[in-house]
Amino acid sequence: MLIIGHRGAAGTSPENTLMSISMALDCGVDWVEIDIRMVDDTIIVLHDETLDRTTNGSGSVYQHSLADLRTLDAGDGAQIPLLSEVLELIDARAGLNIEFKQRGLVGAVVEMTTAFIERQPRWRNRIMFSSFIPEVMSELSVLDPSHCMLGALSESNAEDPIRTANHLNAYSANISLVQLSKSLVESAHKQGLMVLVYTVNDNADVRRCFELSVDGIFTDFPERAIAFIQNLPMISRTQ
Ligand code: G3P
Ligand code: CA
């Protein structure tokens, strides 16, 4: 089961910062997940539209210049990073799931990730795009698959996440833990879809995902999840 460091290692380090991503890499994650927005034509890594929860700034991120945003403290003295900095830091040592939190970024992001793949071929099949925004998912679904993998991200109340993932020709159905069931995983696997589950922090839930043959989990505590899974060798999994 793949371990995806959620916003880096958000449970133990300021989310979506280079510090948090480094910590996730040090833990040995398979993938890192981040959230992106655009300010002054530059892709930045930030979950919320407002600055208050994760930085010492306030108000909408879009009311600030990039230069202003870069002076803010995103936790433990870390800056709000740029997508380019994250790609450079990871350098294809792990996969990167880029979640679009805003419309209108696909072209710019594909241009950047394509350049990184050309420079570092190990990035191929190590970049996954996803979004909760249906229009963004539609835009992503028609991209040349060599540019990225598509994770069909669905809300916890989504009606039929597997059908949607299939419709989008996605690599995976990225579902909420709330939606996890044996039948959902079996149905996805029958249709050739991977199942990635967010956000799985408790060991009991990590164990349940493992037992149900989930393909990967997004977790704020990758170090703990990796250690826990390593101690589960005898658990039988559904096929
Ligand atoms: O992609 C999984 C997860 O990151 C989606 O929820 O709110 O943490 O971006 P959120
Ligand atoms: Ca996210």
Q: Is 123 in the pocket of ligand 1 (CB under 6 A)?
A: no
pTM of the prediction? 0.96
pLDDT given at position 236: 55
Say if CB 49 and CB 63 are below 8 A apart: no
pLDDT given at position 235: 58
Going by C-alpha positions, the residue among 123, 107, 168, 162 that lies closest to residue 32 is: 123
Ligand at minimal distance from the CA of 35 is 2
pLDDT given at position 144: 84
Check residue 118 and give left, alpha or beta (phi > 0: left; psi -120 to 50: alpha): alpha
pLDDT given at position 237: 60
DSSP state of 108: H
Ligand 2 is an ion; its neighbours by CB within 5 Å are 35, 99
Render each residue's pLDDT in the chain as its tens digit; 239 residues: 999 999 999 999 999 999 999 999 999 999 999 999 999 999 999 999 999 999 999 999 999 999 999 999 999 999 999 999 999 999 999 999 999 999 999 999 999 999 999 999 999 999 999 999 999 999 999 998 777 899 999 999 999 999 999 999 999 999 999 999 999 999 999 999 999 999 999 999 999 999 999 999 999 999 999 999 998 866 556 54
In degrees to the nearest 10, what's the CA dihedral of 77, 81, 84, 87? 70
> Closest residue (by CA) to atom 10 of ligand 1?
47
Q: Is 174 in the pocket of ligand 1 (CB under 6 A)?
A: yes
pLDDT given at position 126: 97
pLDDT given at position 148: 84
Domains and CATH numbers, the chain: 2-236 (3.20.20.190)
- Burial class (CB within 10 angstroms; exposed 0-12, middle 13-18, buried 19+) of 77: exposed
Q: Is 35 in the pocket of ligand 1 (CB under 6 A)?
A: yes
